[in-house]
Chains A and B, each alone.
Chain A
Amino acid sequence: MIVLLLFLIPLLGGIASFFIKEDKAVRSWALLASFVTLALAIVGSISSTNAALLQYSTPWMGTLNSNFALRLDGMGKILCLLTAIAYPIILISTWKTSYRKPNNFFGLMLLTQAGLMGVFTSMDALVFYFFWELALIPVYFLCSGWGGEKRIQVTFKFFIYTFTGSVLMLIALLYLYFLTPDRSFSIESFYRLAEIKGWNQTLAFWLLFGAFAVKMPIFPFHTWQPDTYEQSPTAVTMVLSGLMVKMGVYGFIRWVLPVVPNAAYSWGDVVSTMAVIGIIYASILAIQQNDLKRLIAYSSIAHVGIMGLAIFSETHLALQGVMMQMFNHGINIIGLWIVVELIERQFGTRKLSELGGIAAKAPALAILLVVMALANISLPLTNAFVGEFMMFAGIFGSTLTKYNVVFTVLALLSIILAAVYTLTMIQKVFFGPVNERTANAVDINFGEKLALSILVIMVFAFGVYPQPLLNITDGYAQSIITNSTKVLSQTLTK
């Protein structure tokens, strides 16, 4: 039941928001809805025993053998939790930003959340596809309606990219549907496909890859991302980078690895190579950027690339690292965007060259940013370190690829490069000479401090004691690995 509410509350809250015309009222309403969702998500994540609470299923399209089936399992829990935590933080930190037609803005935001919750919990391929698109449509309107100057073209590019990817996924799902013995869209039937022949798997793999690689994004499908992040309103950028890119990572883990393990194994090196190229390429580009938003966008490509690499190493450690890192990356990047939002709102610019010397005027902001930035470099004691360490250890220890050492070494370069661009950013924004723009800087207010402090606490808390998160995801990662290694070992011995 909880899992149904996780989706219904943002949906109904979002629909109701469209009718609340008053600015303050609609903000409060959206915040209230997101807090209720958060409470539910926390309850859902800690109650591990009561199965009836965590799943819901009802027949939907009889002739197609598709059920409206939702279930909250390990990976679903951690991502729903992330989504539920992110929303109140996003809403609080952008409380001061004014939007025209706020009712539509917040309505669409909540609808996006409903779509995301659905994606992370759906256990039926057709329902998954529905939610996948449902999450995309409101974002299209959000980015086109409230973004920067070039928003229309940029959002359009983003939409066409992702839509093309997702219709290819639709074909893959249909194709797999006809291969299932019982003609069903349920995930259990799909998992039974793991042993089908090579060519079928390869075809399905690449069609699915289209959707997930664009969403993540993996090099060379990333070109929509920096532009979209730059042009979207910051609250939407937070949703895009903190939550929506996780849809791609999630898709690989849930719908690719267990469904087509043989193809994932045979093409794993190709995908990993793309990911490694992307990691280094994006890190180098990040060093060159002058715009704060673009810098963080490229840094995000690099971080997500590491997750892609880790998924295809197919080790338990790496997979669990990916799930950890999905959560942690979400927290960290939302923190960074909040800082960007605060800087832009106060100084009217995001250019590194036009900022400087803010630390002296706004010490609280500076401290919070530095913590977030250190987490972005994944320094020990921050949450990102735990996730990335596990991923790298997993990639290094992978027995499925011959290039594990090469991949690990090259991907590790990104941590050094991350230090270069992140520290340069801190130096240019917070230290150095004060110019006329930053001379009258004032520190952040209580609400903003609160939002950032919560994030900082989470950064340290999960950096020092990640066990609760590990407990949530452990079983799921194990089941995926057992599932695919079983099939793989059969194939390899043949």
Chain B
Amino acid sequence: MNALIFSAISGVLMMFSGFVLKSNAAIRTLAHILLLAVIIATAFELRGVPFFHINTTGMLQFDHFALLFTLIASLSTLVFFLLSSKDMEKVGVSYAEYFALIFFVLSGVVIASSFQSLLLLFLGIEIISIPLYILTGSDKRSLKSNEASLKYFLMGAFSTGLMLMGIALIYGATGTFSTTLIQAPKEGVPVLLSTGMLLLLFSLSFKVSAAPFHFWTPDVYDGAPTVFTSFMATVVKAAGFIAFMRLFSDAFRDIGSEWKLTVAIIVAATLFIGNITAVFQQSVKRMLAYSSIAQAGFMMLAVYSLTAEAKEGLILYGAAYSLATIGIFAVLIKMKDYTFDGFNGFARQQPLIAATLVIFLLSLAGIPLTAGFLSKFFMLKATVAAGNIWLAVFAVIMAAVSVYYYFRLIQAMYFKEGNVPAIEVSPAFKITLISVAALTIVLGIYPNLLLYWLYF
């Protein structure tokens, strides 16, 4: 509750701060302070100190899973602010609004990670999506950005329609919106319920860009201003999965036979399409877009297996993936040339930054000693425990494919000759990047540092 109220208020404050604060630096500072407040408020609630006592029974459930993810999402946003908020200035003139929209997204993230009613799920997903449509089109003079925004909006509206239809059907079948009360009658699953469930499955697959509902992702991620792509591809995507996981573990766990096969096929297709297509990309930005699809396939394994390990794994995955991707994007934003060749010789010019990028890439590829490995490990463990070893084998083969495109960037930076135009980085940027990289390794050796909070 704390985070929801704080982030909503912060959004409103930021929206009007543009009138009062004239300098960008002041706006930026205010945004950082407000975000810190959100983080602290969330941390307090996680330790059992809610500031507000509002009865949300049957609507929102602020359990440790929801709160921990909220904390991770807001911390990732802080990292994103620290690394990239300066670069948002280049997008357009409405600097304060961008922060406001991001805070609104964050409040949507809170709802989507703690809902207990299908209506709130819908609300959360929409509160996330609408500011994103705007952020995608925020580079008003760029045709690509406009196109991406329109495409995103149309496709998003379509999937919202599917979701509403699904919710209506489920209500028709069970007479309730509450996810915990949805129960199939003993004699069999009614057609209305399974159809509604499938529609929800498809619309959420769209939101997390799982194949075959992923077609918008590369274009939108590529067209959107790179700073916002970074945010969209990380925090928002992870939040989509938390909502996905919550919905299926609360509402549809008992009718697993109705959807397990479909989800398994979606996972396999997502892994395959994401990884194979990423191999052929020449632009790092597009590669990261496809890599986000590929990683979505792995995260979806948690939805497939729905075990306690899967829950832990998804939390860890959300953190590992968000931190690593935000880090890579933060450097990418500073580059003039987004192609792989644009990174040739980068290690010679910026040895420290290149080293942190290596850690992020290794984490994304799932190499041991990084958080990325353990999160993949948890997913695989959950899948094997759920009894589908072939899906796990397929997933690891695809993970091996992913090494190809992640390591291409390492090769370009370290082993190829080239002249990268000098990029300007502040010491604070470097320190943040290094601490994020250190965090990636610490979580890779001792994940209980994070997972501990799920239970205490």
Contact = CB atoms under 8 A, between A and B. Distances in A.
Interface in A372-397: none
Q: Which of A61, A129, A145 has the most B CB atoms < 10 Å from its CB?
A: A61
A130 B373 CA distance: 10
A291 interface: no
Given A134-B369, A167-B400, A152 B393 contact: no
A435 interface: no
Interface string A232-257: 00000000000000000000000000
A152 B411 contact: yes
Is chain A's interface secondary structure helix, strand, loop, or mixed overall? helix
A156 interface: yes
A160 interface: yes
A167 B381 contact: no
B65 to A, nearest CB: 16
A70 B287 CA distance: 40
A431 interface: no
Interface stretch (B172-180, B232-240, B384-392): B384-392
A145 B367 CA distance: 19
A467 interface: no
Interface stretch (A42-50, A76-84, A169-177): A169-177
A95 interface: no
Interface in B345-379: 362, 366-369, 377
B396 A133 contact: no
Nearest to A127: B368
A62 B447 CA distance: 10
B411 A207 contact: no
B396 A171 contact: yes
A12 interface: no
B407 A159 contact: yes
Contacts of A168: 393, 396-397
A432 to B, nearest CB: 38
A167 B367 contact: no
A159 B368 contact: no
B396 A160 contact: no
B380 interface: yes
Interface string A418-460: 0000000000000000000000000000000000000000000
A135 to B, nearest CB: 11
Contacts of B369: 130, 133-134
B451 interface: yes
B415 A203 contact: no
A145 B396 contact: no
B447 A61 contact: yes
Contacts of B393: 168, 171, 207
A490 interface: no
B415 A144 contact: yes
Contact of B381 (A134, A151, A163, A174): A174
Contact of B368 (A63, A64, A134): A134
Contact of A203 (B389, B399, B404): B389
B448 interface: yes
Interface in A172-203: 174-175, 177-178, 203
A137 interface: yes
A167 B399 CA distance: 8
B389 A163 contact: no
Nearest to A141: B414
B331 interface: no
Contacts of A159: 403, 407
Contacts of A130: 368-369
A133 B373 CA distance: 11
Contacts of B416: 152
Contact of B448 (A62, A133, A137): A62
Given A160-B404, A167-B400, A152 B385 contact: no
Contacts of A134: 368-369
Contacts of A478: none
A170 B380 CA distance: 9
Contact of B367 (A137, A141, A178): A137
A144 B294 CA distance: 26
B368 A133 contact: yes
A28 interface: no
* 7 interchain residue pairs of minimum CB distance: A167-B396, A164-B400, A133-B368, A130-B368, A174-B384, A144-B415, A152-B415
Given A134-B368, A144-B415, 16 more contacts: A61-B447, A61-B448, A63-B312, A63-B448, A133-B369, A134-B369, A145-B414, A151-B415, A152-B411, A156-B411, A167-B396, A167-B397, A168-B393, A168-B396, A171-B396, A174-B380
Interface of B: 312, 362, 366-369, 377, 380-381, 384-385, 389, 392-393, 396-397, 399-400, 403-404, 407, 411, 414-416, 447-448, 451
8 contacts: A61-B448, A64-B381, A129-B368, A145-B414, A151-B415, A160-B403, A171-B380, A175-B384
